[in-house]
Amino acid sequence: MTVATITRQDVVNFLYTEAKLLDEWKLTEWAALFTEDASYTIPPIGDPDANPKDSLFFVHDTRARLQERAERLLKKEAHVEYPHSTTLRNYHNIMVGDLDSPVIRVECNFTTHRTKREVLDTFIGRHIYEIVQMNNGLAIKSKKVILHLDSLRPQGKISLIL
């Protein structure tokens, strides 16, 4: 695939593949979707433009930390997620930026439903991606998760990858 052949549908299918990998708990395969210099961030609720040098982020991972997070969540020792939650992710209102740009900006709303121990939690918000072409496919250079919640209650924590 060359830059000229990337279509909006290619980008949308890539996002749906990401969601499927996460829902199936294929976290190492999910981490492989990211470039070596990638970042994955979840800024504080109500402050999507926060600077990680001045604010405490829920997640502020480099590619290496992302890989470690994925591997750790798959272990039985990750008690909060063992056995794994059942999740269902929906991506909607997908807006794809300039396909001819070396870095394609993509924004979408998301809903992630999580059920565990007879409790249903719902996370809602917006994903902002920077997607690049790599190895005849697409890869995530950055993913920012902006939660549109008043607080983490009733969930109380983020124990899964959003």
Contact 110, 16 (CB under 8 A): no
pLDDT value of position 3: 45
pLDDT value of position 79: 80
Residue 153 pLDDT greater than 90, yes or no: no
Q: E strands of 59-102, at which residues?
A: 59-62, 86-96
Burial of 91 (0-12, 13-18, 19+ CB in 10 A): middle
Query: What is the pLDDT confidence band of residue 42, given thresholds at 50, 70 and 90?
Result: very high
Query: What is the pLDDT confidence band of residue 2, given thresholds at 50, 70 and 90?
Result: very low
Write the CB contacts of 115 (distance below 8 Å, at least 6 apart in sequence): 85, 86, 87, 121
**In whole numbers, what is the pLDDT of the chain averaged over residues?**
92
Contact 105, 130 (CB under 8 A): yes
In this structure, how many other beta carbons lie within 10 angstroms of the beta carbon of residue 96? 20
3-147 topology per CATH: Nuclear Transport Factor 2; Chain: A, (3.10.450)
Mean pLDDT of 46-62: 94
Q: pLDDT tens-digit profile of 55-108?
A: 999 999 999 999 999 999 999 888 888 889 999 999 999 999 999 999 999 999
Contact 111, 87 (CB under 8 A): no
**Cα–Cα distance, 83 to 117 (Å, whole number):** 10
**Cα–Cα distance, 85 to 133 (Å, whole number):** 32
Contact 27, 74 (CB under 8 A): yes
Tell me the domain boundaries of the chain: 3-147
pLDDT value of position 154: 66
pLDDT value of position 156: 64
